[in-house]
Amino acid sequence: MFTKKNISKLMLTISLTLILVSNTLAQEFNAKVTVNAQRINTTVDRKIFTTLQTQLTNFLNTRKWSGDAFKQNEKIDCQFLLNLESVTDQFFYKGQLIVQSARPVFNSTYQAALVNFQDVDIAFKYVEFQPMEFNENRVQGSDPLVGNLTAVFAFYANLILGLNYDSFAPKGGEKFYQKALNIVNNAPEGQGITGWRVFDGLRNRYWISENLSNSRNNILHDVVYAYYRSGLDKMVENEKEARSNLLQCLNQLKAFNTENPNSMFVQFFMQTKAQELIGFFKKSTPEEQKQAKAILSVLDAQNSGMYNEEIK
C-alpha cells in the first residue's frame, strides 16, 4: 500500500533517476582512454596507471563541455592513447599522446576521421587518486605540473568539438576553438612543460589553435564543412555532386596552402585521408581523376605516388 511517505520517496527516486539520465544524455563524448606504461620501470605500482586511465576517461565522459544535450547516438567517438616514457621519484611523467576522433557519414555505416594526431610533448605530475580538476578560467591551477595533464586533455576535447561542429554547420565550431585558444594563452608553465608556445616547435598545440582561431583563416572552416557535409554526407545521395564538392573544397585548401606554406592545419587535416580520397575518386571521370591527383599530390606530397598509382 502506498503511503504519503512512500509516494514522496518514490517521486524523489524518479526525479533523481531522470536527472541522472538527463546528465548522461547531455554529455558529448564516448571517449576511450588507454594508458600504456610498458616503458615505466617495474618498481612503480601498476595499479596507478589503471586508476589514471579510469580518471581520465571519467574526466572526458562525465564533464559537460558544451551547452548542448547529446543523445546517446550523437556522442562523439574518440580515443586517447597516452604512452608514458619516463617517470622520476617526484611522480613526474613524460610521454606522448595519440588523439583520434571520427564522425558518422550520413546514410552509411562509415566513420570518417576528424582527428588523428600525435602530441609528443606531454609532461605532468600524477599521484594516484589526485582530483582531475580543470577550470577554463584558471587553466594554470595551483600546481602547473598537475594542471598540465587536464589542460592537455581539455584542449583536445575542445578541438574535437570544434571540428565536429564545423563538419555539420558552417563555422559551427568557433566557440570551441576560442576555448582551446584560451587554454593555450593561459597554459601551465613550468620546467618540462612544452607544446603550448610559439617557440616550442612548428607542429604543436599552439599552432593548430592559431590556425583554427585566426580570423584570417576562415576559409579553413569552410573547407571542413564542405569536405564532410557537402562531400562525404552526399556520397550516397548524389555521388557526382559529392565528388564535385570535394574537388572544390580541396582546391580551396590548396589555395590556402599556396598562400600559407607549411601551415600546420593542412598536414593535420590530410593525415589518414589518403585511402578515403582514393576510394572516392576511383569511380570519377578521367578529368576529375586528373584534377584530384594534381591537387592531392600538392596537399599530401608524401602520398603522391600512391594517388597517381591508385586513382585511375
- The model's pLDDT over 146-179, given as tens digits with 9 standing for 90+, comes to 999 999 999 999 999 999 999 999 999 999 999 9
Per-residue confidence (pLDDT) for residue 17, from 0 to 100: 43
User: What is the tens place of the pLDDT at every residue in 211-249?
Assistant: 999 999 999 999 999 999 999 999 999 999 999 999 999
How does strand 92-104 pair with strand 76-87? antiparallel
Q: Are residues 178 and 242 in the same domain?
A: no
Estimate the crossing angle of helix 174-185 against helix 144-166, to 10 degrees: 160
Tell me what percent of the residues of the chain surpass a pLDDT of 70.
92
User: What is the tens place of the pLDDT at every residue in 77-116?
Assistant: 999 999 999 998 889 999 999 999 999 999 999 999 999 9
> pLDDT higher for 312 or 163?
163
DSSP annotation string for 181-244: HHHHHT----TT--SSSGGG-SSSHHHHHHHHH-GGGTHHHHHHHIIIIIIGGGTTT-HHHHHH
Q: Please check whether residue 280 is in contact with residue 234, taking contact to mean a CB–CB distance below 8 angstroms.
A: no
Of 187, 213, 239, the residue that ends a domain is: 213
Q: If you ran DSSP here, which 8-state letter would residue 103 be given? A: E
Per-residue confidence (pLDDT) for residue 81, from 0 to 100: 98
SS (H, E, C) 276-297: HHHHHHCCCCHHHHHHHHHHHH
**Global pTM value:** 0.90
Per-residue confidence (pLDDT) for residue 274, from 0 to 100: 93
Q: Are residues 244 and 206 in the same domain?
A: no
Q: Characterize 224-254 residue by residue with b for buried, 16 or more Cβ atoms within 10 angstroms of its Cβ, and e for exposed.
A: bbbbbbbbbbbbeeeeeebbebbbbbbebbb
Task: Give the mean model confidence (pLDDT) for residues 17-30.
Answer: 59
Q: What is the count of structural domains for the chain? A: 2
Q: Please check whether residue 233 is in contact with residue 224, taking contact to mean a CB–CB distance below 8 angstroms.
A: no
Q: How far apart are CA 213 and CA 178, in angstroms?
A: 6
Per-residue confidence (pLDDT) for residue 3, from 0 to 100: 54
Domain contains 22: no
Cell numbers describing residue 310: 591508385
Domain contains 1: no
Q: Are residues 183 and 286 in the same domain?
A: no
Residue 22 reports pLDDT greater than 50? no
Can you name the residues that pair with 41 across neighbouring β-strands?
none
Domain contains 218: no
**Reported confidence tier of residue 4, pLDDT bands at 50, 70, 90:** very low
Q: Are residues 179 and 70 in the same domain?
A: yes
Q: Are residues 41 and 109 in the same domain?
A: yes
Sign of CA dihedral 28, 268, 215, 297: negative
Per-residue confidence (pLDDT) for residue 291, from 0 to 100: 95
Tell me what percent of the residues of the chain surpass a pLDDT of 90.
79
Q: How far apart are CA 72 and CA 192, in angstroms?
A: 39
Per-residue confidence (pLDDT) for residue 137, from 0 to 100: 82
What is the three-class DSSP state of 307?
A: helix
Per-residue confidence (pLDDT) for residue 222, from 0 to 100: 97
Task: Give the mean model confidence (pLDDT) for residues 117-128.
Answer: 95
Per-residue confidence (pLDDT) for residue 124, from 0 to 100: 95
Q: Please check whether residue 296 is in contact with residue 277, taking contact to mean a CB–CB distance below 8 angstroms.
A: yes
> pLDDT higher for 115 or 11?
115
Nearest of 214, 99, 213 to residue 162 by alpha carbon: 213
Domain contains 41: yes
Residue 181 reports pLDDT greater than 80? yes
Q: Are residues 34 and 155 in the same domain?
A: yes
Cell numbers describing residue 53: 586511465
Q: Are residues 268 and 195 in the same domain?
A: no
Domain contains 143: yes
Q: Are residues 78 and 190 in the same domain?
A: yes
Q: Are residues 71 and 139 in the same domain?
A: yes
Q: Are residues 206 and 94 in the same domain?
A: yes
Task: Give the mean model confidence (pLDDT) for residues 12-33.
Answer: 60
Domain contains 20: no
Of 190, 213, 236, the residue that ends a domain is: 213
Residue 18 CB neighbours (<10 A): 10
Q: Which domain holds residue 147?
A: 29-213
Of 178, 213, 248, the residue that ends a domain is: 213
Residue 187 reports pLDDT greater than 80? yes
Q: Are residues 185 and 69 in the same domain?
A: yes
Domain contains 21: no
Q: If you ran DSSP here, which 8-state letter would residue 147 be given? A: H
User: What is the tens place of the pLDDT at every residue in 261-307?
Assistant: 989 999 999 988 999 999 999 989 999 999 999 999 999 999 999 99
Q: Are residues 161 and 192 in the same domain?
A: yes
